Structure 1
């Protein structure tokens, strides 16, 4: 322990100017002086290093640091993995598993086509798919996703997708509206023979066409909102007969 005897020179603005026996000036917080200290008072100051408290503080800091590292430092976000949910002549629906953000925060999630940004997903934790349209027939594309988080940027592996030929109708996902039971059975048989499928009487991101005998019905609003081609049933039968996908221009249902 070290002891010092000093005289108080003056006290102002929360600081006391102390004068040592060697006439050196020392600034000292006035709040630590006895309450009755005034200019001219002589005070004794004892200084001691508290090694036990230092060790205790260091151990506490190490414990907190280890806990912080175990919770935040070891588990990094995982790079997303894209896969094909559906593919047609001019579009592809991509999807991904739930994102592993760990303790990080999401900044953005973007899809790239041939290294060019093709779309941004505002909430990829709630919506796990995206439809990329405007593709060319029978053409191979490369897709990848970029996950940007507060813990860094994570890029998915490249996914190669080739759009279908005009004769490949397996990418059709048809939503069937109001038709008779017998006609519905015929539609199901045609779809099965083409390797296509119906979208469970509902509109989804995969839905490529809406088939019905006439416009209207419970799903009509959703079909129009999603800008899905609404065509007569004869369009599907003609595609089957000609063995290729046909333009929908002559088969639109009148609104």
Structure 2
């Protein structure tokens, strides 16, 4: 333990100026001085090193460091897993589980079709991409490749065949405005069910067509924005009657 003698100089409620015997000035918190000390008082301040407490704090620090390393630092990014959904005659959705990178950062994500990298870019927070312009009744192989600060990882490879003309199960519609919503909506839903097709209340990335008789509505605006064909109910009737997909033409409000 070391004890040093000081003379108290200027003193206020927050800070005191202490003068050493060799005429050095230091600032010292007034709160730590004994009661009754005033300017001109002589005080002795003793300082000692608390080695046991210091060692305990160091142990706590390194325990925390090791826990962080064990939980995060040693875990590499997980291999991505992809799957195909919403197959149609000319399109599909390639989807993957949310990326688990642990402490690594994503540098790029590339889509491969039959081992050829596609030019389409995927936002960093997205976990799907809609691929259009595919050949009908054609087999494709897909995978993704991610580059991270911890290395490069390739997903599983998934194979999918686009639908034939007579496969109507890929149709997934949402509904817009109708002149007479009932019974039109009920009839359209029954027809979709008999065809093995599906519908949703709102337009989303899985929607293949918007069924409507009149422009307008939030669904209509969304479909137009994302270039989703907006077709009349007659389009669906023709698909069912001919037992094959009808590509929107004169039956479309917007295509």
State the TM-score, normalized to the length of structure 2.
0.71
| Equivalent in the alignment of 1:184 | 185
Give secondary structure in 2 for the equivalent of 1:142: strand
| Equivalent in the alignment of 2:168 | 169
Q: Is the 8 A contact 2:77 2:150 kept in 1?
A: yes
| Equivalent in the alignment of 1:160 | 159
Structure 2 stretches of 5 or more lacking a match?
Answer: 1-54
User: What is the CA–CA distance in structure 2 between the aligned matches of 1:86 and 1:166, rounded to whole Å?
Assistant: 15
Q: Is the 8 A contact 1:108 1:122 kept in 2?
A: no
Give secondary structure in 1 for the equivalent of 2:224: helix
Root mean square deviation of aligned Cα: 2.2
Per-residue deviation, 1:247: 2.0
Give secondary structure in 2 for the equivalent of 1:161: strand
1:66-85 to 2 correspondences below 5 Å: 66-67=66-67, 69-85=69-85
Per-residue deviation, 1:83: 1.1
1:35-184 to 2 correspondences below 5 Å: 66-67=66-67, 69-118=69-118, 119-123=120-124, 126-179=125-178, 180-184=181-185
Per-residue deviation, 1:66: 4.5
User: What is the CA–CA distance in structure 2 between the aligned matches of 1:130 and 1:99, rounded to whole Å?
Assistant: 14
Per-residue deviation, 1:72: 4.1
State the TM-score, normalized to the length of structure 1.
0.71
Give secondary structure in 2 for the equivalent of 1:210: strand
Give secondary structure in 1 for the equivalent of 2:183: helix
| Equivalent in the alignment of 1:236 | 236
Tell me how many residue pairs correspond in the alignment.
195
Stretch of structure 1 that moved more, 100-109 or 110-119: 110-119
Change in Cα spacing, 1:75 to 1:166, as seen in structure 2 (3 Å) is same
User: What is the CA–CA distance in structure 2 between the aligned matches of 1:182 and 1:245, rounded to whole Å?
Assistant: 24
Change in Cα spacing, 1:159 to 1:254, as seen in structure 2 (3 Å) is closer
Say whether residues 1:249 and 2:249 are aligned partners.
Answer: yes
Per-residue deviation, 1:254: 6.3
User: What is the CA–CA distance in structure 2 between the aligned matches of 1:218 and 1:65, rounded to whole Å?
Assistant: 52
What are the superposed Cα offsets for residues 144-177 of structure 1, whole Å, 9 maximum, x if unpaired? 0111111111110100010000000100110111
Per-residue deviation, 1:108: 1.2
Structure 1 stretches of 5 or more lacking a match?
Answer: 1-55
User: What is the CA–CA distance in structure 2 between the aligned matches of 1:173 and 1:249, rounded to whole Å?
Assistant: 18
Q: Is the 8 A contact 2:143 2:157 kept in 1?
A: yes
Change in Cα spacing, 1:206 to 1:64, as seen in structure 2 (3 Å) is closer
What are the superposed Cα offsets for residues 79-131 of structure 1, whole Å, 9 maximum, x if unpaired? 111112211000111111111111111111121111112232121xx322110
What are the superposed Cα offsets for residues 54-99 of structure 1, whole Å, 9 maximum, x if unpaired? xx9xx98987874564244421111111112211000111111111
